[in-house]
Amino acid sequence: LSPHTCVSNDIGEDQSPATIAMTHHQDPRPHDHHRYGGDLLFKVTLLSATIAFFAGRAAGQYACQRPNNWCTHETAVFVSVDCDGDGGLDALCYDGDDNRWMIRSSDQCQEKTSVPDSACPAVFIKPPPPAPPACQRPNNWCTHETAVFVSVDCDGDGGLDIVCYDGDDNRWMRRSSDQCQEKTSVPDSACPAVFIKPPPPAPPACQRPNNWCTHETAVFVSVDCDGDGGLDIVCYDGDDNRWMRRSSDQCQEKTSVPDSACPAVFIKPPPPAPAGVCPQKEDYVGVANMDRQGNTLMISSNPEADCTVRPTCMGFNSDGELKTASAPFDLASAGKCFYYKDASLMDTPNCGALTETYSVNWLKNELPRQAEISNTYYNG
């Protein structure tokens, strides 16, 4: 037998059940008066051998053998284990360089060098760690009026945590990831299973009536106009007529349809600014490919408005970061913009007009590298 073949402890792999039976009994006298007894003995022997053959296979007697000098190099780890669940032992090798080799009985003991984790879960797929112990509820904890007690896995580690909240918006929590120490500052994110409710299901889509929006020049659109997740239907034509059925209107038809009723259809986004040019913003000066590192006041989804009402905000960048200083500039990636307040157009509350002087040092390629900006308040 070669080192790559499957062998049995008792029966050769190349022997079929019938061959095995013949080796157990061969009747040299097929024509004598014992032939009926011999036939019966032959059949019993055949049945016994067949059962023994498959019982041996089921019992895992057919193991893949380890070839000579196989998996003996430095950092190599040899494992004999049933990888494929057929009851036979397979041979597996892996090393410190993430190389893997495998000889499985289900592959007729042929060597494989492409060995994903799933090829031998017993070795390569580790079971998850056991869940930590559940946090226990102290005596008289969360028993006051309007209190609600919940035992749930808040942190996703498999251990049960305990949460308490009441009608006055007070919250208490003991999580296994905090060693079950009590917390009284409990944001929604600390236990999403309790405090973050899934969004309601989308309403049913509005259905298109028969022969609706089929006249000449009519354009039919199915889109979510009102942002509730349900599909609405819109119709408009070349004579500027509009019709709409929205889920938020219980799919009742509307013929007065302003642009704002379906922005996805009627409000087109402005074209992108040319490369190297920042879109204009009122009361601000935009500088392309520039930013201000540090001095971040806050991050806003509406930085222009939030910076305008804050005297301490001197500017903001394309990422919505409000800055308490607008100089010096730092080079930013292409397409980024930094906006600083245009002092000539703004009044600062309680301080009179805000004046601004600045000077720019230029690189040889004429891109601004740094701006020195001083803000001066005066009463007037």
Whether residue 350 is predicted with pLDDT greater than 70 in this model: the reply is no
Which segment of 242-251, 301-310, 360-369 scores lowest on mean pLDDT?
360-369
Look at the pTM and tell me if it is higher than 0.85.
no
Q: Considering the domain boundaries, does residue 182 fall inside one?
A: yes
255, 243 in Cβ contact below 8 A?
Answer: yes
* Mean pLDDT across 323-338: 87
pLDDT for position 328: 86
Q: Does one domain contain both 262 and 299? A: no
Q: Does one domain contain both 23 and 97? A: yes
Integer Cα distance of 74 and 95 in angstroms: 8
Mean pLDDT of the chain: 80
* Domain, as residue range, for 100: 1-127
User: What percent of the chain stands above pLDDT 70?
Assistant: 73
Higher per-residue pLDDT: 23 or 95 = 95
Segment 5-52, tens digit of pLDDT: 344 444 334 333 333 333 344 444 444 544 555 566 556 555 655 554
pLDDT for position 24: 41
Q: Which of 238, 269, 300 is the last residue of a domain?
A: 269
Q: Does one domain contain both 18 and 118? A: yes
Find tokens 């906006």 and name the residue. 339
Segment 131-140, tens digit of pLDDT: 889 999 999 9
Total domain count, the chain: 4
pLDDT for position 46: 59
Q: Does one domain contain both 75 and 92? A: yes
Integer Cα distance of 352 and 346 in angstroms: 9
pLDDT for position 115: 93
Q: Which of 145, 171, 198 is the last residue of a domain?
A: 198
Q: Which of 98, 127, 156 is the last residue of a domain?
A: 127
Assign residue 308 a region (left: φ > 0; alpha: ψ between -120 and 50; beta: otherwise). Answer: alpha
Q: Does one domain contain both 103 and 135? A: no
Q: Does one domain contain both 25 and 118? A: yes
* Mean pLDDT across 66-94: 94
Q: Does one domain contain both 329 and 341? A: yes
pLDDT for position 38: 54
Whether residue 356 is predicted with pLDDT greater than 60 in this model: the reply is no
pLDDT for position 241: 96
Integer Cα distance of 207 and 220 in angstroms: 12
Whether residue 150 is predicted with pLDDT greater than 90 in this model: the reply is yes
pLDDT for position 6: 40
Q: Does one domain contain both 9 and 122? A: yes
Whether residue 56 is predicted with pLDDT greater than 90 in this model: the reply is no
SS3 readout for the chain:
CCCCCEECCCCCCCCCHHHHHHHHCCCCCCCCCCHHHHHHHHHHHHHHHHHHHHHHHHCCCCEECCCCCCCCCCCCEEEEECCCCCCCCEEEEECCCCCEEEECHHHCCCEECCCCHHHCHHHHCCCCCCCCCCCCCCCCCCCCCCCEEEEECCCCCCCCEEEEECCCCCEEEECHHHCCCEECCCCHHHCHHHHCCCCCCCCCCCCCCCCCCCCCCCEEEEECCCCCCCCEEEEECCCCCEEEECHHHCCCEECCCCHHHCHHHHCCCCCCCCCCCCCCCCCEEEEECEECCCCEEEECCCHHHHHHCCCCCCEEECCCEEECCCCCCEECCCCCEEEEECHHHCEECCCEEEEEEEEEEECCCCCEEEEEEEEEECCC
Whether residue 272 is predicted with pLDDT greater than 80 in this model: the reply is no
Q: Does one domain contain both 44 and 93? A: yes
Integer Cα distance of 334 and 90 in angstroms: 57
Q: Does one domain contain both 193 and 207? A: no
Q: Considering the domain boundaries, does residue 139 fall inside one?
A: yes
Whether residue 372 is predicted with pLDDT greater than 60 in this model: the reply is no
Q: Does one domain contain both 293 and 373? A: yes
- Cβ neighbours of 62 (radius 10 Å): 20
Higher per-residue pLDDT: 50 or 314 = 314
pLDDT for position 97: 93
